[in-house]
């Protein structure tokens, strides 16, 4: 059976905000930020190891740093902040779901106002509802070369650090957070039964003392409302009132790499905090084989890159895959690997100075974008959200900024390209 976290990711990818996250308040020590290095656990939780975009003395890195730690400098002009990416009470749900509009009045048998009623018309469906305004921070496509090179050069050091910290994982499980959508209060959930109905109640406003109430009609629904402290089933009033900043991650964008299986890529260490359960080996080490339990929505894309090229390592992100599909005029398919085989997009192979050949989808399509004015209300209300297009289509935006210099913090690692593709 497909894991709930993967169902939620798959069902909300078409909103072009990244992979929906079932645990917006996790990790518990520090909020998720750009540059976090970690992996998705068996149940879909993001487990942070450290952050590459903060100083080595930052509290976020108190658990240790790789021996070859090198700060990743992504200039501010290669990032974008969208202050009003989500509206209070905006319902983001599966494309197959039906949302009943609400005028904000209480239902006949309810004392709280109805934000909306979601009816799932298929066996699998998901939804995300922010109660407070959500903002988005992302890296722009012009930063892709920098991030790709950095991850290829350093992920072996990440793996050694993880083993040193007594984690159990594959080398290819690491992800780098490249974008995040955050809010203060939220409700997320999914349904695994057709014709399930979910009623969302509460006050859609930026009030930390209020909390959304979600009432499903079937026990097959998994619903989480927060923020929560720890793993308690219900938050206390104090914990709700204390959350006055938008630090709850609803959507994550991430970069991930996968090696061709020339050697065993799994090392077991002593069990420790955040240890993942033991999984099956990859089988024959002479070829790459897709895992039956992918940890992310882009694992099939990495498999396609490996099977369609002679590269040693495949690398891509959810935004790059969405970008490819967007310019082809295609939605995110149910079976991404089969669809990519049919679409047969070109793979670009680059070679580092150390001889590592890595493949990716080429960045040869011009992208241009307009930045929303500070304070503009760019999202839609709950009553109109289902019928309107995504408020911020990242790939229809106009990137007028260009890097001022080709010099970055990768002073110790220089890269050469076998194929130069103009962005």
Please indicate, yes or no, if residue 377 is contained in any of the structural domains: no
Per-residue pLDDT of the chain (423 residues; tens, 9 = 90+): 678 898 999 999 999 999 999 999 887 778 999 999 999 988 889 999 999 998 888 888 877 899 888 899 999 999 999 999 999 889 999 999 999 866 555 555 556 678 889 999 999 999 999 988 899 999 999 999 999 999 999 999 999 999 998 888 888 999 999 999 999 889 999 999 898 899 888 765 555 556 678 888 888 899 998 886 544 334 444 444 445 688 999 999 999 999 987 644 444 443 344 433 333 343 332 333 334 456 789 999 999 999 999 999 999 999 999 999 988 888 888 899 999 999 999 999 998 878 889 999 987 644 333 333 333 433 333 333 333 333 344 444 333 333 333 333 333 333 333 332 322
Tell me the pairing of strands 357-360 and 313-317. Answer: parallel
Please indicate, yes or no, if residue 256 is contained in any of the structural domains: yes
Tell me what pLDDT residue 204 has: 57
Distance of alpha carbon 37 from alpha carbon 29, whole angstroms: 15
* Alpha helices (H) in 261-398, listed in sequence order: 299-307, 318-327, 336-343
Residue-number span of the structural domain to which 248 is assigned: 4-276
Q: How many domains does the chain have?
A: 1
Which residues have CB under 8 Å from 119's CB, separation 6+? 97, 98, 99, 100, 195, 196, 197
Please indicate, yes or no, if residue 236 is contained in any of the structural domains: yes
Tell me what pLDDT residue 244 has: 67
Alpha carbon distances (Å) from 28 to 23, 32, 273:
10, 9, 13
Distance of alpha carbon 318 from alpha carbon 316, whole angstroms: 7
Taking a C-beta distance cutoff of 8 angstroms, is the pair 180, 91 a contact?
A: no
Please indicate, yes or no, if residue 27 is contained in any of the structural domains: yes
Q: Which of 277, 258, 255 is nearest to 268 (CA)?
A: 277
Token pair recorded at residue 210:
């209020």
Please indicate, yes or no, if residue 195 is contained in any of the structural domains: yes
Please indicate, yes or no, if residue 101 is contained in any of the structural domains: yes
- CA 185-191-194 angle, 5° bins: 145
Please indicate, yes or no, if residue 186 is contained in any of the structural domains: yes
> 3-class secondary structure for 241-287?
HHCCCCCEEEEEEEEEEEECCCCCCEECCCCCCCCCCCCCCCCCCCC
DSSP category for residue 388: S
Please indicate, yes or no, if residue 339 is contained in any of the structural domains: no
* List of E strands, 27-157: 36-40, 46-51, 79-86, 92-93, 97-100, 114-120, 125-130, 134-139
Taking a C-beta distance cutoff of 8 angstroms, is the pair 144, 150 a contact?
A: no
The answer to whether the Cα torsion of 278, 280, 286, 291 is positive or negative is negative
Token pair recorded at residue 403:
């890097």
């Amino acid at each position: 059976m497909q894991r709930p976290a993967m169902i939620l990711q798959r069902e909300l990818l078409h909103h072009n905000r990244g992979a929906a996250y079932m645990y917006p308040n996790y990790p518990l020590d520090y909020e998720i930020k750009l540059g976090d290095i970690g992996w998705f656990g068996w149940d879909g939780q993001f487990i942070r190891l450290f952050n590459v975009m903060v100083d080595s003395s930052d509290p976020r890195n108190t658990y240790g740093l790789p021996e070859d730690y090198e700060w990743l400098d992504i200039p501010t002009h290669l990032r974008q902040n969208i202050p009003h990416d989500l509206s209070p009470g905006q319902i983001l749900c599966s494309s197959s779901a039906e949302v009943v509009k609400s005028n904000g009045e209480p239902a006949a048998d309810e004392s709280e106002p109805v934000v909306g009623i979601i009816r799932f018309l298929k066996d699998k469906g998901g939804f995300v509802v922010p109660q407070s305004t959500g903002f988005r921070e992302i890296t722009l496509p012009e930063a892709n070369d920098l991030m790709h090179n950095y991850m290829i050069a350093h992920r072996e050091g990440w793996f050694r650090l993880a083993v040193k910290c007594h984690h159990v994982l594959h080398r290819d499980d690491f992800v780098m957070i490249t974008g995040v959508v955050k809010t203060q209060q939220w409700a997320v959930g999914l349904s695994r039964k057709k014709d399930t109905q979910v009623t969302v109640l509460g006050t859609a406003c930026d009030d930390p003392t209020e909390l959304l109430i979600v009432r499903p009609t079937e026990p097959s629904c998994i619903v989480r409302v927060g923020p929560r402290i720890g793993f308690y089933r219900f938050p206390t009033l104090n914990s709700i009132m204390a959350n006055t900043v938008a630090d709850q991650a609803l959507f994550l964008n991430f970069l991930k790499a996968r090696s061709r299986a020339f050697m065993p890529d799994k090392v077991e260490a002593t069990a420790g905090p955040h240890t993942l359960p033991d999984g099956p080996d990859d089988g024959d080490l002479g070829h790459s084989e897709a895992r039956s339990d992918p940890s992310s929505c882009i694992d099939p894309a990495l498999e396609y890159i490996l099977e369609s090229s002679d590269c040693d390592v495949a690398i891509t992100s959810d935004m790059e895959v969405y970008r490819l599909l967007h310019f082809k005029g295609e939605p995110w398919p149910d079976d991404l690997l089969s669809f990519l085989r049919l679409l047969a997009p070109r793979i670009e192979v680059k070679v580092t100075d150390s001889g590592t050949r890595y493949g990716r989808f080429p960045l040869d399509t011009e992208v241009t974008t307009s930045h929303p004015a500070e304070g503009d209300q760019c999202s839609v209300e709950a009553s109109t959200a289902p019928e309107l297009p995504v408020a911020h289509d990242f790939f229809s935006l106009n990137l007028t900024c260009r890097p001022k210099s080709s010099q970055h913090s990768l002073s110790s690692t220089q890269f050469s390209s076998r194929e130069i593709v103009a962005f």
